[in-house]
Amino acid sequence: MFRVSKKDLKINTINMEDFEEKETEQPENETLVITEDIRSYIYETAKWAKFLSIVGFVFCVLIVICAFFVPAVLSSMASMGRPNPLAGVGSAAITIIYLLIGLLYFYPSLMLFKYATAAQKATLFLDQQSLGEAMSKMKSFFKFWGVLTVIIIGFYAVGILFAVVASIGVS
C-alpha cells in the first residue's frame, strides 16, 4: 500500500489559456510505424488492385465496343420480326447510355491503378510521399463508389415510391 502525504501531493490548476495553447501545439514530425508485415500487406494489396484495375480497363473497352454494336443487333432483331422492347428507346440513346456506363466505370479503374502503382513504389523504395499519394487515390476510389452507391440507393427509393404510388392509383 502506498501512502501519499500532502507534501508529496501536488495539485495542478489548469488555466484555460494554457490548455488551448498546449492543445494546438503538436509535434512537427509525427511518425507512423509501418512494420515489415504491413509493408507486405500493402504490396500484396497493390498487386491485386493492379490486377482488378486492368480487368476494369478491359471491361471499359468491352462496354464501349458494345455501345457501337448494340444498335446494329437491335436493328437486325427488328428486321427478323421479333418484338423488341428496346426498339422504342432508339439506338442513339442506347449508344450514349453504354458510353456513359463505360466512362463511369473507367474512373474507379484509373484510381485503383494509380493506387497500385504508388503503393508498390512506396513499399519497394520506402517512399513516404508515394504512400501518401496511394492513400489519396484509395480515398478517391472509395469516395466515388460511396457516392455512386448513395445515388443508386436514391434511384431505388424513388422507383419504389413511384411503384407504390402507381399501384395505389391503379386500384
Kindly report, residue by residue over 10-48, the tens digit of the pLDDT.
444 444 455 455 555 555 677 778 899 999 999 999 999
CA-based torsion, 85, 97, 138, 140: positive or negative = negative
pTM: 0.72
Mean pLDDT of the chain: 83
